[in-house]
Structure 1
Amino acid sequence: MIQFLGGERFFELDFPIFVNRETESFKVKYHQHDFIEICLVEQGHGFHHIGNQTIPVQKEDLFLLPVGTPHVFRPSSPDSNEPLVICNYIFKLEAIEEVKQWIPGDSELFRILYSPEHRSKPWYHYQDRHNRFAQLFDSAYLEYHQRLSDYRTMLKTTLLQVLILLHRMQSDVAGKGEDRAARGMEKVKDVLHYVNNHLHEPLVLKELAEKNLMSVSQLQQHFKAATGKTFTQYVQHLRIQRSCDLLNTTNLSVQQIAQRIGYSDMKFFHALFRKITGCTPREYRNHSRNEFFRGVLEP
């Protein structure tokens, strides 16, 4: 079930721009909204469940989410020593009407903002390799929460700078091709899609490499470059993440959940679950029901 979050939950009545910084947990539900969101991973590791994909994320990952994009961030585990921290810049177009005057009409950014039915992708993923976005997001966060004089003007100006940088990045990609990390993700895209949809089946690296006309070493290299994890680490974390979701949202037994995500050896499943999350499946379920289901994105 996808929860809908309206902008009125976040925006002031006459100012549809909002900036916040969230330490992600398993409390927030899979959701979509009626505003545009730009998300920057500022700290930690985890996963971004977006559309029908699960993307490993870490510091410097940047996402542009058009109106209506279903998604949710999840940390690697509920007891991670390094939390997953996301800074969100959300807005509606009426906050920056002047943007339409300078964005080229044939650009991808123009299509995202003003002609979404013609955009090339459902959502966009970038890397903030030089911390230029991090500086702008940090400035915007301070302006929004300190409320100094003319803070609204500063927030609009900073948002315009963010959009200009996005436009430049999109133009560079169109003109020069994707960078190394993006190319690596492209090469394993089919593998990631297959893994995400076949977690309940045996997943053998050699077989996946052969299906995609690559050697095992090539697939390992591209997979690590694209996800930041080895194939085994990615599959294990994704399976445990999926089991956490089932523990949260169903009444299935622990054994049934283990079987649904591809584990028949319960001893191995319990050991792996504790290694990744820091607790047993039963402890996790009790903890989530006692704490995480009290509300969703409470203001």
Structure 2
Amino acid sequence: MKMTVAAPEVVRTIADLRSKIAEYRLRAGPAAKVGFVPTMGYLHEGHASLIRRSAAENGLTVLSVFVNPLQFGPNEDFERYPRDEKRDYAVAAEAGANLIFMPQVEEMYPRPMQTSISVRGVTERLCGASRPGHFDGVAVVVTKLLNIVAPDRAYFGLKDAQQVAVISRMAEDLNMPVEIVPCPIVRDADGLALSSRNVYLSAEERSQALVLSQALKKVPEWIEDGATAPELTGRIARLIRTKPLADIDYVEVLSYPALEPLAETLPLKQARERILVALAVRFGKTRLIDNVLIG
């Protein structure tokens, strides 16, 4: 049963959100399906694509907008992370959300957390190595949100492919009754992967940042040419370094979703695993991530 299309309702408290979801499930009966899109807000077309997919596949779509302090490390951008509730509401309404959960930090963390969640293995490379503790914070807030919303499906963008792997493994290991739905990366017309942090970029930084998608676009060709993992990362890094403002954090080629290194001497076109080519690069103070999945 689809919830009547109307302007989405903003909900501020956990108790109120649970009550409204329970009311929908009671009204819709056994056919009730709830979709959930967790975000940190400052919504863009990438988020809207997740909301639209949820709205197409579920009777009720819940969107959360919460900048989670636990996943930011010291000297990261928690305080200056872009926030705009009016913008978020407009994007969510246009895309088809029914309920928008916008809690304050005190609602989600009324007292200091004494419970931690750590997903080993898949968190130890890529952004997990660069941002210690980041994925522990992600795991806690996603677990809390899944427990609050109790959705049938939860939608996550593959721009952060590592996050999708972490959450999928966590849900599987803990027998969470939810389907984790990975969704494709959405890009601007010039190829830059959409991100709330793109707003930080100066005009010149943004122009040079296009090298990320340009490099990733060449990956299938380089793999077909017989490149090994080290050769591929070397080619990508050399191309990125042609841009003077680019400061590479990492360029890695790993199996997906296990995120394990691949044999260094094996041409990647002979690999049996699905391949993730992932990178993180700073332009000025802005750290951008991007990736491509092969296979």
Pairwise TM-score range, normalised by the shorter structure? under 0.3
TM, length-normalised to structure 1: 0.25
Bigger proportion of residues as helix: 1
